[in-house]
Amino acid sequence: MKLLKRISSAILGLVSLFGLGSATAVNYNVDLTLGQTHTFNHLHTDSYDYSGAFTDTGTFELSNAGTVNVSIVDNELTSVVDLLSVSAFTVYDSSSNALFSTSELVNTVIPLSNLAAGVYTLQFVGDANGIFGAAYDVTVSAVPLPAAAWFFGTALIGFAAYSARRAV
C-alpha cells in the first residue's frame, strides 16, 4: 500500500511539474501573405498580378531572454503550379546581425537558443510566380525549457532527500 501511494504521488508530482513548465509557453503567429499584409513588405507588379522578386519581413519581440523555435510551412502547390519560390530565409537581431540563414524552407523548424530580450526580424527573399494569395506560414514559439528544467531538477532533489530521510 505504501509503495502504491509513493508511486502515485511521484506520478502526480511529475505531471504537475510538466504542467507548470508548459503553461508558460507564449506563441506568436505571423502569417506572411503576399499582397495581403500590413506589417510585411512585398513587391508586386500591379494590384492583380503578384509576381516577381519579393522581400518579406516580419518582426517578433521577446520580453524575456529565452529560446525560440521558428516553424516555416510552405502552403503552396509548389510541386504542381510553383506559385512561390523562397530562395533564402534569415533571422536578424535588433543590431541587424544575422543569427540564422537557410535556403531549405519546406516544413522547417529552426531552434534559436540564448536569445536576449528584444525585437528580432524574419526576412524572406524569393520569387512569386503566382496570383493574389500565394502564402507561407511562420510560427514563432517561445520555449520554456530552462524553467521546466529547473522545476524538474528541484523535484529530483526533493525526491532524493525524501528517500534518504525515509531510509534513516
Cell of 5: 501511494
Mean per-residue pLDDT, 68-73: 69
Tell me whether residue 7 is in a domain. no
For the sheet with 98-102, list strands across it: 51-62, 118-129, 84-92, 98-102
CA 53 to chain centre: 26
Residue 92 belongs to what domain range? Answer: 25-143
Per-residue pLDDT of 4-48, as tens digits, reads 666 666 665 554 444 433 333 333 344 333 332 223 334 444 444
For 15, the 3-state DSSP assignment is: helix
DSSP 63: S
**CA 122 from chain center: how many Å?**
12
The reply to whether 5 falls in a domain is: no
CATH number at residue 39: 2.60.120.380
Instruction: Judge contact between 99 and 112, C-beta under 8 A.
Output: yes
pTM exceeds 0.75: no
Judge whether 4 lies within some domain: no
Q: What 3-state class would DSSP assign to 109? A: strand
Residue 162 in any domain: the answer is no
Q: Report the number of distinct structural domains present in the chain.
A: 1
Distance CA 51, CA 153 (A): 53
- Structure-block grid coordinates of residue 129: 510566380
Please check whether residue 58 lies inside any domain of the structure.
yes
Structure confidence by residue, pLDDT tens digits, 101-160: 887 666 667 777 777 877 888 887 777 665 544 455 666 666 655 556 666 777 778 777
Residue 161 placed within a domain:
no
Residue 29 resides in a domain: yes
Asked, for residue 105, whether it belongs to a domain, the answer is yes
Please give the average per-residue pLDDT across 51-76, as a whole number: 70
Provide the 10 A C-beta neighbour count for residue 70.
21
- Three-state DSSP class for residue 54: strand
In this predicted structure, what is the pLDDT of residue 129? 63
What does residue 68 show for φ and ψ, rounded to 5 degrees?
A: -130, 140
